[in-house]
Structure 1
Amino acid sequence: MYYRYSPSVLSSFPQLQSRGLLIDGIDRNADPNTAISHLTAIAENRLAHATEGELPEIKAWRRAFSVMGYKPTQYRCASEALLRRFRLEGSLPALHPLVDLCNATSLAFAIPVAVFDVEKINSILSIRHAVGNEIYETFSGTTESPEQGEIIYADDDRRAHARRWTNRQSGWSAINSKTKTALIVTEALHETAQQDTDKLINSLMTTLILLWPAVKITRANPA
């Protein structure tokens, strides 16, 4: 078990489908451009027929954010934010082969894909409501305290690795040039979420093995 959901989150969102992968043996030397081109072409085709806000995957997350008390565009889930940026700019910045692959996969499926450096996580990640005493580190290195009741990813050190559920990951556990082991988590709430998250994970596994032939992959579905 590598991550889990609190009973309160599961009862609030019973339609949630979540899949995970633990990958060991990655580096930043892989070239994901061929895979990324294929995935972004899928996103381009979808966006040619609808804006990101009209996609069923994104509509479901907007409904969830409304339940959490946010206006539809006050905060966007990770996949919506990526799709919007891609639609406006035509590309995404290159950060790290694994991150770039996960971002492109998120574009193609319109489903959030989070990836964490496992060495920066103490014990199990819990997706739960914040108590209010957790610590969240931004990508600039500043710290914040999630609001009480906000859904976060948190470890046993009370460190928040993501705020507002699928909205904003922490810089603390972001993938970097030294990362060897990573946890990938994807989550969806729309009608065909079960089938689509399975397809997404299978797609990722196939590409990961092509890019890092020696990588060890373990399915890491939540408790």
Structure 2
Amino acid sequence: MHFSHHPDIWQKYPELAAGALYAEGIHSGADAQPLVARFQATARDRLETALSESELPEIQAWRRVFSRMGLKPTQYRCASESLLRRFKKEGAMPQLHPLVDVCNALSMAFAIPVAALDTAHIAGWLQVRHADGTENYQAFSGEMEHPDPGEVTFVDAENRSHARRWTNRQSGLSAVRDATRTVLIVCEGVHASAAADVPRLLDALTGVLAELWGAQPRQALLSASAPRFDF
């Protein structure tokens, strides 16, 4: 399998810094809560020093990208902004799956979108590209949707969409669940220091996977000159 961004994405969004990680041996029995609490504390500290989550440079940068995609940033938000908004409002996050919980906590700590996908539900390969409108997207409700033509999405070899509006919403099809054993994790930043922050986030994820699951993940930093991650 492999993961990549289409050349059009790199051309249109040259500020993109992306990283991908593949890990095996995932299960739902790990106790992630001590690590989750640590990363949530970092997120809480960042929120206390900002007027709002939208003032964080990582979030502001994604808002600018959403505007360039023709989306209203206050209507459609990147995943890390949505998580931070909920965390600030409720003061806690629901426990879903240890991997999802820790990825969400790291996403909030770094204010960078993190997508964790079950590779058992990805056909052949996965590419971030502009949709043509024929792709099939399964929402968490089970309802089928089609991304709008030109919308940035994650598409596999069977023309299935695994995200809506790039970093806005993942698909229920490849969501991490109790039966998940192998995962692809994607981190994408578009802010000024993303080229330094995304590798730090990948290293943090690698440490978490080793500590909680004894995994030895493979990871790669992606760019226009090295756009593909084979796993």
User: Could you tell me the TM-score, scaled by structure 2's length?
Assistant: 0.94
- Which residue does the alignment assign to 2:72? 71
Structure 2 regions of 5+ residues with no counterpart? 223-227
Q: Following the alignment from structure 1 to structure 2, what is the Cα–Cα distance between the partners of residues 57 and 89?
A: 22
| Cα offset, 1:220, TM superposition | 4.2
- Which residue does the alignment assign to 1:124? 125
- Secondary structure class of the residue paired with 2:22: strand
The yes-or-no answer on 1:209 pairing with 2:210 is yes
- Secondary structure class of the residue paired with 2:191: coil
Q: What code does the residue aligned with 1:111 have?
A: I
CA deviations on 1:8-29 (whole Å, 9 max, x unpaired) are 1111100100001100011000
Structure 1 regions of 5+ residues with no counterpart? none
- Which residue does the alignment assign to 1:2? 2
Q: Following the alignment from structure 1 to structure 2, what is the Cα–Cα distance between the partners of residues 40 and 161?
A: 26
CA deviations on 1:58-90 (whole Å, 9 max, x unpaired) are 000000000000112110000000000000011
Q: Following the alignment from structure 1 to structure 2, what is the Cα–Cα distance between the partners of residues 111 and 76?
A: 12
Superposed, which structure 2 residues align to 1:40-189 within 5 Å? 40-50=40-50, 51-189=52-190
Contact in 2 for aligned 1:94/1:100 (Cα 8 Å) = yes
Aligned residues: 222
| Cα offset, 1:204, TM superposition | 1.1
Q: Following the alignment from structure 1 to structure 2, what is the Cα–Cα distance between the partners of residues 118 and 12?
A: 28
Contact in 1 for aligned 2:76/2:168 (Cα 8 Å) = yes
- Which residue does the alignment assign to 1:219? 219
Contact in 1 for aligned 2:40/2:109 (Cα 8 Å) = yes
- Secondary structure class of the residue paired with 1:21: strand
Identity %: 49
- Which residue does the alignment assign to 2:19? 19
- Secondary structure class of the residue paired with 1:4: strand
Q: What code does the residue aligned with 2:22 have?
A: L
Q: Following the alignment from structure 2 to structure 1, what is the Cα–Cα distance between the partners of residues 72 and 83?
A: 18
CA root-mean-square deviation:
0.9
| Cα offset, 1:221, TM superposition | 4.1
Contact in 1 for aligned 2:199/2:221 (Cα 8 Å) = no
Q: What code does the residue aligned with 1:212 have?
A: W
- Secondary structure class of the residue paired with 1:219: strand
Contact in 2 for aligned 1:25/1:216 (Cα 8 Å) = no
Q: Following the alignment from structure 1 to structure 2, what is the Cα–Cα distance between the partners of residues 174 and 106?
A: 16
User: Could you tell me the TM-score, scaled by structure 1's length?
Assistant: 0.97
- Secondary structure class of the residue paired with 1:76: coil
CA deviations on 1:121-164 (whole Å, 9 max, x unpaired) are 01111100001100000001110011000000000100000010
Contact in 1 for aligned 2:31/2:98 (Cα 8 Å) = yes
Contact in 1 for aligned 2:202/2:219 (Cα 8 Å) = no
Q: What code does the residue aligned with 2:187 have?
A: T
Contact in 1 for aligned 2:16/2:188 (Cα 8 Å) = yes
The yes-or-no answer on 1:28 pairing with 2:62 is no
